[in-house]
Structure 1
Amino acid sequence: MVSLICTLQDHRDDVNWCAFSANLLATCSADKTVRVYSTRDFSELPFSPLSGHGYVVHCCCFSPCGQYLASCSTDATTVIWVMDSGEIEAVLEHPGRSPVRVCAFAPDSVHLVSGASDGTLALWDFTSRSLLRTGGVPDTTMVACSFSPCGQLFVSGSTYGDLRVWNLELKPLHAEKDAHDLGVTCCQFAPQMHKVTDADVIQFRLASCGQDSLLKVWTISYIPSTGCKMQLLHTLTGHTAPVLSCSFSADGQMLVSGSVDKTVIVYEASQGTLLYTLSQHERYVTACVFSPTAPLMATGSMDKSVNVWRVEDGCSTQEAKFLPGEEAASSCEGVPGAKMAGHSRLMASDWSEDDVSSWLREEGLEVLVDVFKANNIDGPELLALNKETLATDLKIESVGLRGKIIRKIEELKMESMCTGVPEEYLCPITQELMKDPVIAADGYSYEREAIQSWIRTKNRSSPMTNLPLQTTLLTPNYTLKMAISRWRTSH
């Protein structure tokens, strides 16, 4: 199910890129600004807009910890902003002073790469904010870049139409020429990686899109000692015009793309099945991205707007669904300070009393709002209600109304029901249900205490790949933690 929950209309020109952190949404535009919003209610932060660039801002991305935001521009710089204050922390001038079209952080925040219109790539040591090395491809423009989950590789895409895999020495490991006729426009790795059984091979998935109106899904097989190869898995033809942006969901199960045909398409990623077509933008869709921590998606367009969507895959089917504009959920378009319902970003067990009130209104149960507020019903208490407590404690006399509320509560509980514990919820080390999942440098999720103990005793090797961990940095996996919380509540 996909529903439009908010439309942001603060930019005065084309929106070029959107990026999420755990609690922020950043957007950048041809109007030379970057705007930053809280994902709690999509209100703009006090220090926004960020106005340090002199020309068009093409791309923006958060550091994995969310503390910094990088943005790049035709002014030949990549600016690093501090998200606590909105102040400029550093200005990275691209070698050759060529317009910078794309930038991307490594998963461990150690490296930042930027690509320019002269075909050059600059690899930066983000810790010291210094240039490590440069490389690239002449006679083209770098417009796409993405780091692998392990942080040891990145892929670039250019207007020449090729996809190239690079290591941190900026040595090309593979070139997929003519990946997209007339040029690549975007590429992104899926967050997960896999080790091939009984082989020293690590596999990644990569999505790419281009001027040929195609969205492609690739497998990249990496052997540290010998190099890598790419294999095409799917060619998705849902769009009728050039595809300008693509992005995987945090769990890698969905893939979204935006196009010159003004539509956004959501696919089931493993099989490439089209799930939803969204047509609310009035001009080219230039940006699309999933939140790493909530069932949210943002899309930006040349219509100067950013749409924020609620995306939940629990009831998706293999049949394509079309959501025309008049059937979308209410938008907060044009309403200053308009807020998204709080319950859309939380599990029911985490709802506040206000979230419960919002849910009641959405379900057509406005008559119960005052009763529930008077009895201080929050998420956990809502899930514990039954017909007896509704009648005796809340004094709801209508049998029909009691029956309806119970049905709605049961629907909440059934959202993520399944048989057995999903394998991805188990720590690979302990094989127990995770309580505090974190992502290690190998791209896999583990229980925090288990991986910390492993690192202390196993010489910093990956439990899944046996390769050295390049860093001991552990990133909280909020998406997985929320999914596990929902599963536990339903069971």
Structure 2
Amino acid sequence: MVSLICTLRDHRDDINCCAFSASLLATCSSDKTVRVYFTRDFSEAAFSPLTGHGYGVHCCCFSPCGQYLASCSTDATTVVWSMDTGEIVTVFEHPGRSPVRVCVFSPDASLVSGASDGTLALWDFNSKTLRRTGAANEASVVACSFTPCGQMFATGSTYGDIRLWDVGMNQLHAVKNAHDLGVTCCHFDPRSQSGGLASQFRLASCGQDSQVKIWIVSWHAAAGVKMHLLHTLIGQSAPVLSCAFSSDGQLLVSGSVDKTITVYDAHQGVLLYTLKQHDRYVTACAFSPASSLIATGSMDKTVNVWRVEDGCSGHGDEGKSLPAETSDVTAEGRKLPGHSRLLVCDWSEEDVSAWLCAEGLEALAEPFKANNIDGGELIALTKETLATEMKIESVGLRNKVMRKIEELKTSLVCSGIPDEFLCPITREVMKDPVIAADGYSYEREAIESWINSKNRSSPMTNLPLQTTALTPNRTLKMAIGRWRSSQ
């Protein structure tokens, strides 16, 4: 059977990906953060959340040794983090500055990133250099997985094709229209069958056609690469957004827009369980490589952790549904203090002091009060201000303050405030909204700063802005004013 053992509620926006190492669970979200938990008790690591990205984080993955975590974002970067300290080890900027949709480590610790413009980049992690680039097509590359031997990898795109590549970025094989309307995820069975001059792998894929497919990928020294369909799984009634094999290749899990998670016998292609716990689309799923755990993430902003009990591969309970009541432990996210019902920018100095105490930063209450830090000043603080003007000497304390501020800003703006009132850059309620050439509205000061420092690219599309002219959005400004008055 499969039982829900834990629900993590720390993210403040859609969950986009989950990934396990032997001892850690990483989750990433549209709230621009990556969170890291210990799988022994699902407590959050001291350095979590990781807040180096400027936009939503689409994907995260652990290195084979588990010492590093990579994450990629709309900000066109793939960031590699140390799992000892939470510090950034390196930042890979995707060629062409296109939003990066997927990243994956190879077994030898190379790193592939795929972007919205259809390009691929192969990075050498040890030397921190770009080894090769390639292009699938003009569609977004949204899925990628390495074979266990590391000699090939598969990609899937929004055009619906699956392509196989070698590590020299040479295309070996392509299946057009593998999924009608687009591929959403693909994953190789962690086990491989090799026999001298021949190898055989299983690849799972899912897509907008509401199907999960299991393919056999064969390689032979003389015949090259071939790919044929083994199973088509139709256990879900809406687009399937994520799929993953268990570490032993016995099970396959998938998550769907119909809010369900399905668990299949991966060899027979038989539906074993349908899990119904999430309230919105299930966007991510992953098996632990070291234990019988599954993590699933959703647009309901939660991550559920499930335990697969012994005997789950039997067919006696085929297709059994597990209701929401199967949960026995819930790891609640931290609650914000009462004054947080106000917008941060409306906080008084006393509200800031109360927040510091609630976050275990009582020692900073006096210096913050002495410097007249109210809500507006709080969200504008930088590490440099803390060090030079407020004389906070501890690097660790400064980092902690900045993480708490970022978490606070994300938490508050995602709690009942209409998303269209938030600046896409700062994720704060706009005071002077303007329309840029890409058609999106931004806080004037934020977009002007962006244009001056980002080579005139769009913060939302990463494409060049045809003009830097900004048009006041008076209708939006009035709507925000009416909303503020009603609060």
Place the TM-score, normalised by the shorter chain, in its bin.
0.5 to 0.7
- Which of 332, 335, 338 is equivalent to 1:334? 332
Please give the per-residue CA displacement for 1:189-220, whole angstroms capped at 9, x wherever unaligned.
00111135xx7220000000000000000000
Does residue 201 (structure 1) correspond to residue 198 (structure 2)? The answer is yes
CA distance in 2, matches of 1:255, 1:316: 10
- Which of 288, 305, 309 is equivalent to 2:306? 309
- What is the root-mean-square deviation of aligned Cα atoms in Å? 1.3
What residue is the counterpart of 1:473 in the other structure? none
CA distance in 2, matches of 1:87, 1:335: 23
- Pairing of 1:174-323 with structure 2 (within 5 A): 174-195=173-194, 200-318=197-315, 319-323=318-322
Q: CA offset at residue 177 of structure 1?
A: 0.5
What residue is the counterpart of 1:455 in the other structure? none
CA distance in 1, matches of 2:307, 2:324: 15
Instruction: Report the AA paired with residue 139 of structure 1.
Output: E
Matched position secondary structure for 1:192? coil
CA distance in 2, matches of 1:334, 1:70: 26
Question: 2:10–2:334: 8 Å Cα contact kept in structure 1?
Answer: no
Q: CA offset at residue 226 of structure 1?
A: 4.4
CA distance in 1, matches of 2:107, 2:311: 28
CA distance in 2, matches of 1:134, 1:227: 22
After superposing on structure 2, the runs of 4+ consecutive aligned residues of structure 1 that deviate more than 6 Å are: none
Q: 1:48 to 1:335 in 2, by over 3 A?
A: closer
Question: 2:12–2:31: 8 Å Cα contact kept in structure 1?
Answer: yes
Q: CA offset at residue 151 of structure 1?
A: 0.2
Instruction: Report the AA paired with residue 327 of structure 2.
Output: A
What residue is the counterpart of 1:170 in the other structure? 169
Instruction: Report the AA paired with residue 183 of structure 1.
Output: G
Matched position secondary structure for 1:75? coil
Q: CA offset at residue 62 of structure 1?
A: 0.2
Please give the per-residue CA displacement for 1:364-383, whole angstroms capped at 9, x wherever unaligned.
xxxxxxxxxxxxxxxxxxxx
Question: 2:102–2:144: 8 Å Cα contact kept in structure 1?
Answer: yes
CA distance in 1, matches of 2:333, 2:187: 33
What residue is the counterpart of 2:150 in the other structure? 151
Unaligned runs of 5+ residues in structure 1 are 338-491
Q: CA offset at residue 107 of structure 1?
A: 1.4
TM-score by length of 1: 0.67
Matched position secondary structure for 2:280? coil
What residue is the counterpart of 2:20 in the other structure? 20
Does residue 134 (structure 1) correspond to residue 146 (structure 2)? The answer is no
What residue is the counterpart of 2:84 in the other structure? 84
Q: CA offset at residue 314 of structure 1?
A: 2.0
Please give the per-residue CA displacement for 1:18-61, whole angstroms capped at 9, x wherever unaligned.
00000000000000000000001000011000000000100000
Question: 2:9–2:333: 8 Å Cα contact kept in structure 1?
Answer: no
- Pairing of 1:52-91 with structure 2 (within 5 A): 52-91=52-91
Instruction: Report the AA paired with residue 71 of structure 2.
Output: S
CA distance in 2, matches of 1:182, 1:40: 40
What residue is the counterpart of 2:8 in the other structure? 8
CA distance in 2, matches of 1:54, 1:225: 47
Please give the per-residue CA displacement for 1:289-325, whole angstroms capped at 9, x wherever unaligned.
0000011110000000000011124254312211111
What residue is the counterpart of 1:383 in the other structure? none
Q: CA offset at residue 127 of structure 1?
A: 1.4
Q: CA offset at residue 137 of structure 1?
A: 2.1
CA distance in 2, matches of 1:86, 1:215: 35
Question: 2:10–2:332: 8 Å Cα contact kept in structure 1?
Answer: no
Instruction: Report the AA paired with residue 276 of structure 1.
Output: Y
Matched position secondary structure for 2:69? strand
Identity, % of aligned positions: 69
Instruction: Report the AA paired with residue 3 of structure 2.
Output: S
CA distance in 1, matches of 2:69, 2:264: 28
What residue is the counterpart of 2:30 in the other structure? 30
Question: 2:37–2:44: 8 Å Cα contact kept in structure 1?
Answer: yes
Matched position secondary structure for 1:186? strand
Q: 1:216 to 1:304 in 2, by over 3 A?
A: same
Please give the per-residue CA displacement for 1:265-312, whole angstroms capped at 9, x wherever unaligned.
000100111111000000000000000001111000000000001112
Q: CA offset at residue 72 of structure 1?
A: 0.1
Matched position secondary structure for 2:132? strand
Q: 1:284 to 1:107 in 2, by over 3 A?
A: same
Instruction: Report the AA paired with residue 273 of structure 2.
Output: Y
TM-score by length of 2: 0.67
Unaligned runs of 5+ residues in structure 2 are 336-487
Aligned length in residues: 333
Q: CA offset at residue 331 of structure 1?
A: 2.6
Q: CA offset at residue 224 of structure 1?
A: 3.8
What residue is the counterpart of 2:94 in the other structure? 94
Matched position secondary structure for 1:191? coil
Does residue 107 (structure 1) correspond to residue 104 (structure 2)? The answer is no
Q: CA offset at residue 133 of structure 1?
A: 0.7
Question: 2:245–2:252: 8 Å Cα contact kept in structure 1?
Answer: yes
Matched position secondary structure for 1:108? coil
Instruction: Report the AA paired with residue 40 of structure 1.
Output: R
Q: 1:251 to 1:320 in 2, by over 3 A?
A: same
CA distance in 1, matches of 2:52, 2:334: 25
CA distance in 2, matches of 1:329, 1:310: 11
Question: 2:79–2:88: 8 Å Cα contact kept in structure 1?
Answer: yes
Q: 1:169 to 1:302 in 2, by over 3 A?
A: same
CA distance in 2, matches of 1:192, 1:71: 25
What residue is the counterpart of 1:406 in the other structure? none
Q: 1:117 to 1:253 in 2, by over 3 A?
A: same
Q: CA offset at residue 139 of structure 1?
A: 1.6
CA distance in 1, matches of 2:206, 2:310: 23
CA distance in 2, matches of 1:206, 1:224: 20
Please give the per-residue CA displacement for 1:203-261, whole angstroms capped at 9, x wherever unaligned.
00000000000000000001245420101000000000000000000000000000000
Question: 2:2–2:312: 8 Å Cα contact kept in structure 1?
Answer: no
Matched position secondary structure for 1:96? helix
Instruction: Report the AA paired with residue 253 of structure 2.
Output: V
- Pairing of 1:452-471 with structure 2 (within 5 A): none
